[in-house]
Structure 1
Amino acid sequence: MTKADFENYCRRVLIGRKITKVLYGEVNYAFCEELPDEPIRYYHTDFEELHSLDFSIAFMNEDKLIYITWDGTFYQYGLYPFVLAKTEYEAKREQCWDVTEEPMWQPCIGHSIANLEIVWEDIYDVGHTGHKLHIAICPYAFCLKLSNETQVFVSAAELRSDGIEAYGLADNLLVTTNERLAKQINMI
């Protein structure tokens, strides 16, 4: 898939979709004996307007889900959106959290995705000659603009151990509606 094909696909999948519910999907660690009986919501961070997910976010509209996760279409770990029927999402067996009532998501509910900007990251490696080689590009972040001008930022990134800066190409998603914060932690 080319960069242009991917951008066109993402626009077809995302633009015009009305958000009626927001769901977070995390790996279901139920098989681990040391976990408590009741699952714990691990997505909160030290930033009130930033959530960290280990797997996916889904925006539900009338009958479908716009499911965004990390994958390896261009390079592991870039973003990729899918349109799923509700039954397909339920079959994924993720630990699902309905976060529609979270304050961060309230301005988004009932509004459609009006525009999309994809932030691409160049991937380099140092070859055996010691020279920096460009090996791939990767869709690192989606900047979604809604019909009411609210923005949503989704990035295939994780917070460093200091908790104040993000690094990309991670098997994790960072999500926020705060552009200043997204820039401050290098999420976009």
Structure 2
Amino acid sequence: MEAARDRVVPDVVADGLHVLFCGINPGLMTAATGHHFARPGNRFWPVLHLSGFTPRLLRPAEQGELLSYGLGITNVVARATARADELTAEEYVAGGRLLTAKVTELRPRWLAVVGVTAYRSAFGDRTARVGPQERVVGDSRVWVLPNPSGLNAHWTAATMAEEFARLRQTAFAPGDRAGQG
């Protein structure tokens, strides 16, 4: 696993997605496999399914299927670490700038940052809470979701799925950006 440290995992992206999910940074398991949210115990894939974003539970190796649902994945910081606390404040700020450029180019309807601390650090918004944000990146609205890491004990899979479902209902509502949905 240590050999995966500092690797970069390719984004799963396309132009005009409904939702671009943005993790903090790849963990070592993700970097070793090349599949986002690959660590056993990470609740991203189960919560994505429980919230109705996907019709079945996808495995990390099936991440490419997200594009067919109008979904994608990127990260605030590209380099892999064992823990997010290994990242510096400067990396978060630089990641926020790179993420802004990426989102402006790809134009997803919604940028969904998974982790309020990551969002606060990347965008300098110390008062942000989980939910829709006032910030707009290019033409994209921003929603902060709870971090699906198994270390985030404040949120259960069920309560996370409720918040993810709020975003899904908004992002796929008729009339959301140009009447598409």
| TM category, shorter | under 0.3
Structure ID, larger Rg: 1
Greater per-residue helix proportion: 2
Greater per-residue strand proportion: 1
The two structures have a TM-score, normalised by structure 1, of 0.26
Q: Which is bigger in relative contact order (C-alpha 8 A, separation at least 6)?
A: 2
